């Protein structure tokens, strides 16, 4: 097992840092899967996470100037590591003006990701700041826990409203209730609703647009044959939704959600080089 | 329990209905009196008064006169209800609290009467939020019986002069002592905290002193924890009038100019902590 990578371009470095910051806001620990062409940050839907799961995918070529990966075995040319993304985020904070950042998998006393930041200095030799981030190596027999989730057979798929507005509304609603009902239809309408003994609040969004999903052998036909006006809804934990939106440091190019009535809400946030999927299960 | 349905007067179902182009004109004033969860709303044709009380010693009132609203209609002589002010504020600021001048939140408020919830319709940028807040039986409110004929001492100060003082009040002191006198020190704020006592004097000829009418030397103490929330009103205001009556009751009246330059008032009334009315310098 070998992994070493290097980022020299400052824009790529900042972009990568932002991605890690977002992941750090969404998961205390997660799996990092390395393949020849991609990096994945994965949170599988354990009870400990409250049933939330996450799948974040990056093309290494868009971030790294050098990338060498040798997996656990020839037929399984991948590495799965368990790490605390906040540690990586903090290490990268020191790299804001770096000349280069090297990341290497080491095993001196225990497995670590060594992040070596080369900082500019007035003297001829650069300053080096090195962070050793402890990681756990996830054995091959557990790799099945981290498979890519399939797009659920949703009832409604809809683009999200302007995230800033959604965030403001959710921030206030969070003070009033623990859970929120998110409902949407195929006519581009979405409502966020809370209801308690004291108060009920509903925010209505219109003209959001519904993404066109290509129907593969009619598997999405349930969505197409559905009456355009009828709402699919799910009650979810407000804090988890807010966590997802609050972690977005940059506005995504595309943001949408798929609702499986009363079961799960599947959020997809696409940036230029990163795709993030987040699943929030419905509350009982 | 709802009363038997009252026949709506002149076919209008709402005893109170109001529209406001910029909800901040209401929310910022309400925040200035938000030191308890519950408030009593009192509406007449003149406008809206929102009262918050604590410990039977302090009362704050926010006045939003009818002219501030684009529409304000009250079908009965007066409409009163008790409401959770924290919830009301969360609803009024549902689209956020950052002051973006270009995108104010529009508000429509409707109330059908006793036992009905207060309905709010808020709109910003095409997004509409509908809120239904349950109301309760109004509490009996304190009557400080503070009328201008009882006033012994009065000063009007520019708020900027007091803001820093109030923000930095020594909270380890149990009381805020206010001395007003026709003689030195004229107007003095004192605290007695763990580190020692602090006195802040405002001379009568100070630039900050807009009016000075002190007839008698009075020193009164007020529980500092009760007065501290008034700092919020002070922060919004341009001027404050400070008056005491013969019993040492304190009236603070804050003149607040909103984003459109309209003037509203917030007042705080507070009972004195001890009876110290003799000259004490």
Per the CB < 8 Å rule, is A199 touching B131? yes
| Nearest by CB: A169 against B84, B95, B132 | B95
Condensed to tens digits (0 to 9), the pLDDT of residues A221-277 reads 455 556 888 999 999 999 999 999 988 877 899 999 999 999 999 999 998 889 999
Query: In chain B, where are the structural domains located?
Result: 16-136, 151-270
In the block, tokens 């709506």 appear at B8
Chain B CB within 8 Å of residue A160 CB: no
Whichever domain contains A77, its CATH number is 3.70.10.10
Residue B91's pLDDT is what? 97
Tell me which chain B residues have a C-beta less than 8 angstroms from the C-beta of A173: 90, 94
In a domain, A65, yes or no: yes
Condensed to tens digits (0 to 9), the pLDDT of residues A54-108 reads 999 999 999 999 999 999 888 889 999 999 999 999 999 988 888 899 999 999 8
In a domain, A58, yes or no: yes
Same domain, A167 and A129: no
Per the CB < 8 Å rule, is B132 touching A199? yes
Residue A26 has pLDDT above 50, yes or no: yes
CA of B92, closest CA in chain A: separation in Å?
A: 10
Same domain, A160 and A141: no
Tell me which chain A residues have a C-beta less than 8 angstroms from the C-beta of B86: 175
Same domain, A22 and A73: yes
Residue B99's pLDDT is what? 58
Global ipTM: 0.85
Total CB pairs under 8 A between chain A and B: 59
Condensed to tens digits (0 to 9), the pLDDT of residues B105-125 reads 999 999 999 999 999 999 999
Q: Are strands B38-44 and B47-54 parallel, antiparallel or unpaired?
A: antiparallel
Chain A CB within 8 Å of residue B90 CB: yes
Per the CB < 8 Å rule, is A198 touching B133? yes
Give me the CATH topology for the region B151-270.
Proliferating Cell Nuclear Antigen (3.70.10)
In a domain, A222, yes or no: no
Condensed to tens digits (0 to 9), the pLDDT of residues A115-146 reads 999 998 888 788 899 999 999 999 999 999 89
In chain A, the residue whose alpha carbon lies closest to the alpha carbon of B131 is A201
> Are the beta carbons of B257 and B263 closer than 8 angstroms?
yes
Residue B144's pLDDT is what? 83
Same domain, A114 and A206: no
Give me the CATH topology for the region B16-136.
Proliferating Cell Nuclear Antigen (3.70.10)
Same domain, A28 and A124: yes
Condensed to tens digits (0 to 9), the pLDDT of residues A171-223 reads 999 999 999 999 999 999 999 999 999 999 999 999 999 999 865 444 444 55
In a domain, A150, yes or no: no
| Nearest by CB: B84 against A168, A198, A204 | A198
Chain A CB within 8 Å of residue B87 CB: yes
Chain A CB within 8 Å of residue B84 CB: yes
Residue A215's pLDDT is what? 56
**CA B198 to chain CA centroid, nearest Å:** 27
Chain B CB within 8 Å of residue A217 CB: no
In a domain, A224, yes or no: no
Per the CB < 8 Å rule, is B131 touching A201? yes
In a domain, A221, yes or no: no
Chain B CB within 8 Å of residue A207 CB: yes
| Nearest by CB: B94 against A169, A197, A198 | A169
Domain that residue A89 falls in: 2-145
> Are the beta carbons of B47 and B106 closer than 8 angstroms?
no
In a domain, A61, yes or no: yes
Percent of chain B beyond pLDDT 90?
77
Report chain B's mean pLDDT, rounded to a whole number. Answer: 89
> Are the beta carbons of B74 and B44 closer than 8 angstroms?
yes
| Nearest by CB: A202 against B125, B129, B134 | B129
């Amino acid at each position: 097992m070998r992994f070493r990578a290097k980022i020299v371009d400052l824009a790529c470095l900042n972009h990568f840092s932002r991605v890690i910051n977002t992941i750090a806001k969404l998961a205390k620990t997660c799996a990092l899967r390395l393949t020849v062409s991609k990096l994945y940050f994965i949170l599988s839907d354990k009870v400990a996470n409250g049933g939330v799961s996450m799948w974040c995918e990056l093309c290494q070529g868009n971030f790294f100037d050098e990338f060498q990966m040798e997996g656990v075995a020839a037929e399984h040319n991948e590495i799965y590591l368990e790490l605390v993304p906040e540690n990586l985020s903090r290490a990268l904070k020191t790299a804001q003006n770096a000349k280069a950042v090297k990341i290497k998998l080491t095993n001196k006393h225990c497995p670590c990701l060594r992040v070596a930041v080369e900082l500019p200095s007035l003297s001829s030799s650069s300053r080096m700041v090195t962070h050793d981030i402890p990681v756990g190596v996830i054995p091959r027999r557990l790799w099945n826990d981290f498979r890519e989730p399939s797009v659920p057979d949703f009832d409604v798929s809809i683009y999200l409203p302007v995230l800033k507005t959604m965030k403001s509304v959710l921030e206030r609603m969070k003070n009033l209730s623990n859970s929120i009902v998110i409902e949407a239809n195929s006519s581009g309408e979405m409502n966020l609703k809370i209801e308690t003994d004291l108060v009920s609040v509903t925010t209505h969004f219109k003209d959001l647009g519904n993404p066109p999903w290509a129907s593969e052998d009619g598997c999405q036909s349930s969505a197409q044959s559905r009456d355009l006006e009828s709402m699919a809804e799910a009650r979810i934990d407000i804090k988890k939704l807010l966590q997802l939106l609050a972690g977005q440091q940059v506005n995504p190019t595309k943001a949408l959600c798929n609702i499986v009535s009363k079961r799960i809400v599947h959020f997809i946030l696409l940036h230029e080089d990163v795709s993030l999927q987040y699943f929030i299960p419905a509350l009982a | 329990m709802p009363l038997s349905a009252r026949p709506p007067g002149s076919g209008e179902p709402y005893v109170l209905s109001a529209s406001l182009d910029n909800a901040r004109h209401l929310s910022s004033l309400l925040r200035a009196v938000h030191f308890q969860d519950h408030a009593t709303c009192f509406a007449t044709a003149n406008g809206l008064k929102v009262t918050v009380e604590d410990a039977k010693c302090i009362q704050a009132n926010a006045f939003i006169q009818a002219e501030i609203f684009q529409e304000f209609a009250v079908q009965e002589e007066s409409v009163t209800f008790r409401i959770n002010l924290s919830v009301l504020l969360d609803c009024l600021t549902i689209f956020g609290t950052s002051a973006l001048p270009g995108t104010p939140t529009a508000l429509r408020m409707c109330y059908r009467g006793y036992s009905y919830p207060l309905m709010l319709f808020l709109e910003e940028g095409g997004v509409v939020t509908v809120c239904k807040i349950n109301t309760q039986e109004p509490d009996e409110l304190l009557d400080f019986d503070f009328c201008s004929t009882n006033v012994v001492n009065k000063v009007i100060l520019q708020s900027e002069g007091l803001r820093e003082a109030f923000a930095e009040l020594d909270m380890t002191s149990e009381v805020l002592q206010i001395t007003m006198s026709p003689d030195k020190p004229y107007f003095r704020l004192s605290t007695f905290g763990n580190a020692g006592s602090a006195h802040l004097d405002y001379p009568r000829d100070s630039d900050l002193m807009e009016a000075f009418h002190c007839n008698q030397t009075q020193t009164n103490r007020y529980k500092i924890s009760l007065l501290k929330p008034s700092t919020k009103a002070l922060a919004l205001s341009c001027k404050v009038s400070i008056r005491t009556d013969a019993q040492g009751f304190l009236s603070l009246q804050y003149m607040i100019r909103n984003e459109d330059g309209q003037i509203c008032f917030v007042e705080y009334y507070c009972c004195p902590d001890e009876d110290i009315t003799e000259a004490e310098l």
